[in-house]
Structure 1
């Protein structure tokens, strides 16, 4: 027999779910951030070398 879930219980479960997802996927987010920084640096260096050639 199943009882109803109260609003505070549902909110708590939702917050735990979101926090757990962030905790699990944190390395993925960090790798993406590092990749974006690296890409920006390469692009900046490429632009600088292009300006020097001109």
Structure 2
């Protein structure tokens, strides 16, 4: 049995690994979200200004 993990230990290690990955990369996800919102706002403003020109 030495060197083997039980199912609950595997599940715990998996959940811990996923949670750790999310915690580490959370700032990158947040920055991406802010960039996408800013891009949408720019596109909206560009469309509005183009409509006013027509």
TM-score in terms of structure 1 length = 0.94
* Runs of 4+ with >2 A deviation: none
Deviation string for 1:3-39 (max 9, x for gaps)? 3111110000000000000000010000000000000
The residue aligned with 1:20 is 20
The residue aligned with 2:46 is 46
The residue aligned with 2:11 is 11
Structure 2 residue runs of 5 or longer lacking an equivalent are none
Q: How many residues are treated as equivalent by the alignment?
A: 54
The SS at the match of 2:34 is: helix
Structure 1 residue runs of 5 or longer lacking an equivalent are none
CA root-mean-square deviation: 1.3
